[in-house]
Amino acid sequence: MVDIVVIFDFDKTIIDCDSDNWVLDELGATKLFNQLLPTMPWNPLMDRMMKELHSQGTKIEDIKAVLKRTPIHPRIIQAIKSAYALGCDLKIVSDANAFFIETILKHHGLREYFSEINTNPGFVDEEGRLRIFPHHDFTQSPHGCHHPCPPNMCKGTVIERIQASMSMKGKKTIIYLGDGVGDFCPSLKLGDGDYVMPRKNFPVWDLICENRRLIKAEICEWSNGEEFEHVLLHVINRISIDRNNSDNTARLYSIDCKLQTLPGAAQEKAFSHALYVPH
C-alpha cells in the first residue's frame, strides 16, 4: 500500500496550454477579452466572455469540441494512469474551471483517476450558457494570503486542507506538480519528505530557485511530457523503496528481539528460516 498523494496543477502541467486562453483563441474571442481585461478581474471576465459567446450563438457543444482538441502530451496521460496503478491518490488544484477540466479529462478517459478537483466552479445553466465563478469569493473578503496567489484562489490554503485530511487517513507524502506563480504558495506548505516538481523555466521554477531555503520538500524539476512521466514515476518508486526498507528494518528488528529469547542453536535455525519467510 502506497500512502502518497499526488497533487497536479492543470494548465501548462497536465495540459500544455492555459485552457482559458485556448478556448478564447479557438473561438475568436481573444480581442474582446484583452480589451476588457484591464477593467475586470479574471473570473468575472471569463463568465462575461461565455455570456458574449452564448449571445453570439456559440453552443456548449462548440466549447466542448474546442476543449477536446486541447494539447496534452501522451506520456502525461500514461504517467497519470501509472501513478494511479501504483496506488497513489491523485488530486487536482487549478485556477482553470471545473467545466473545462472535467470535459478534457473525460475526453481522455482520465476523470475517474482523480479523487478530487479543487478549482473555480463552472457549469452550464438552464439557458445553455457556461457560468464560471471564483473558487474564493473575493467580493466578500480577500483570502488573506501574502504570496503571489490570484485573488480568487490560494492553492496553499487548499493544500493545508488536504494535509489535514491526510493525517487523519494515515497518508504520508505529497508530490506536487505545477508551473505557475500560484503554485509557489502550495510548494511552501510542503514538508520534509514531500516532493515538489516545478516545470523548468516556468514561473514557479524561478520562484523556487530564488527562494530555495524556504522550500522544505525535495525539488525535482521536469520540462516536457517525457520528463513528467520519468521523474514522477522515479519519485514514486523511490518513496516506495524507502518505505519498504524502513518497514523491513522494523520487521527484522522485531524478529531479532524474538530470537534473543531462544537458545543458541535454535536461534540460528530460526534466524535463517525467518530471512526466507515471505511476508
Ligand X SMILES: Cc1ncc(C[n+]2csc(CCOP(=O)(O)O)c2C)c(N)n1
Binding site for Mg ion (CB under 5 A): 9, 11-12, 179-180
Length of the chain: 279
Q: Distance from first CA to last CA of the chain, Å, rounded?
A: 14
Q: Is 203 in the site for ligand X (CB under 6 A)?
A: no
Q: Interacting stretch for ligand X, rule CB under 6 A, among 5-13, 68-76, 244-252, 257-265?
A: 5-13
C-alpha 85: how far from its chain's center? 16
Q: Is 150 in the site for ligand X (CB under 6 A)?
A: yes
Answer with the entry of Mg ion, ligand X, none that 271 interacts with (C-beta below 5 to 8 A by kind).
none
38 or 264: whose CB is closer to ligand X?
38
Residue 50 C-beta: closest distance to ligand X, Å: 14
207 or 239: whose CB is closer to Mg ion?
207
158 or 239: whose CB is closer to ligand X?
158
Q: Is 9 annotated as a binding residue?
A: yes
Q: Is 187 in the site for ligand X (CB under 6 A)?
A: no
Q: Is 137 annotated as a binding residue?
A: no
Q: Is 102 in the site for ligand X (CB under 6 A)?
A: no
Measured CA to CA, the distance from residue 163 to residue 221 in angstroms comes to 22
Measured CA to CA, the distance from residue 92 to residue 117 in angstroms comes to 5
Q: Is 182 in the site for ligand X (CB under 6 A)?
A: yes
Residue 1 C-beta: closest distance to ligand X, Å: 29
Answer with the entry of ligand X, Mg ion, none that 42 interacts with (C-beta below 5 to 8 A by kind).
ligand X
Measured CA to CA, the distance from residue 63 to residue 128 in angstroms comes to 11
Q: Which of 99, 101, 103, 97 has its CA nearest to residue 125?
A: 99
Task: Enumerate the H helices of 97-224 as residue ranges.
Answer: 98-107, 155-169, 184-189, 203-210
Task: Assess contact for 147 and 159: CB atoms under 8 A.
Answer: no
Measured CA to CA, the distance from residue 227 to residue 197 in angstroms comes to 10
Measured CA to CA, the distance from residue 127 to residue 68 in angstroms comes to 22
Which residues are catalytic, by number? 9, 11
Task: Assess contact for 108 and 14: CB atoms under 8 A.
Answer: no
Task: Assess contact for 130 and 50: CB atoms under 8 A.
Answer: yes
Q: Interacting stretch for ligand X, rule CB under 6 A, among 94-102, 164-172, 224-232, 258-266?
A: 94-102
The annotation places the binding site for Mg(2+) at 9, 11, 179
Residues annotated within a binding site? 9, 11, 20, 95, 179
Q: Which residues bind ligand X (CB under 6 A)?
A: 9-12, 18, 20, 42, 94-96, 150, 152, 180, 182
